[in-house]
Structures are given as C-alpha cells and as structure tokens.
Amino acid sequence: MGHSFGIKCNECDYIKSFRMGIGMMYSPYALSDFDSEFALLPYLIRSKKTQQLVKNLINDKNGKFADGYEHSIYRCSKCGEFYGRFFFHIDHDDGSYEPLYKCTKCNKTLDLFELPEHGQADLSLYPCPRCGKNSLAEDYSSMLLWD
C-alpha cells in the first residue's frame, strides 16, 4: 500500500506532499504492459521519450524491472525544489537503466532524495526552495494512504 510524505516550511507557505511507495496493482507484469487499458507506465512517467525507451528495453533488450521501484522524492541540488517522481531500475541485455528526471525550473538532473528507513528525515539540512531558510519540516497533516 502506498503512503505519503509531506514537507512544509515553518517560515513561509511552502508546502508539498508526495505519493510514496507502490500501489497494489504495481506488479512487474503490469509495469511491462504498455498497450492495454490497464497500462501503468503512462501514469507513472510523464515523458513520452522515457516511456518509449522503457518500452524498447522491455521488448527488444529483454529488460526486467528490478525490485524496489516506487514513487519517490527527488531533489534539485541547484534550486532545492522537491519533486515526486517514479523510481525504477531495469536490467537489460546491454546493462541497466534508471530514469533521469529534470528540474522543471533549472533543467538540472534531479537527485534521488532518500528518506531514512527508520527515524525521521532531518529536513532542516536542506534550504527551503521558496524562502531559502533552513526551516523545512515533515508535514504530518498531509498523511494519507492511497491504493
């Protein structure tokens, strides 16, 4: 079951919540289904180019989704903005592939923002993308479960 993670700033009105994890229907089989009405990928990855690339890897290069794919948080190291994006890893005949997502503001490649498995993330290490102060905190008011 999926969950969510919220980030808010204590100094300004910056607030964002992210879908995390995976839904019940997210099997590797469903992820590799590109053409039926149940195809998942178009909902997970917006870029048509990336969708096509994944399709080619699965169909032509014997690509397989490795465990660990999930909705994740990415961060731009330039402007500090956070994004919800789908992380996945594909092993294929010529190597492996992980998607590269770009910041929509500065076009810089985003870094995967890993939350600690146990305990709290120390968000105060990261400046707020809006006001620049180190006053980000986890926003518990936006907790929700999604399928």
CA distance 49 to 120: 36
Distance CA 115, CA 72 (A): 9
In the complex, the smallest distance separating the C-beta of residue 136 from Zn ion, rounded to whole angstroms, is: 7
The nearer residue to Zn ion, 61 or 133, going by C-beta atoms, is: 133
Stretch that binds Zn ion, among 29-37, 46-54, 60-68, 72-80 (CB under 5 A): 72-80
Q: Which of 139, 145, 1 is nearest to 70 (CA)?
A: 1
123 is a contact residue toward Zn ion (CB under 5 A)? no
Q: How far is the CB of 103 from Zn ion (least distance, A)?
A: 3
With beta carbons less than 8 A apart as the criterion, state whether 133 and 14 touch. Answer: no
The conformation of residue 117, written as its DSSP 8-state character, comes to: S
Q: Is 73 in the site for Zn ion (CB under 5 A)?
A: no
Q: Which of 7, 9, 31, 54 binds Zn ion (CB under 5 A)?
A: 9
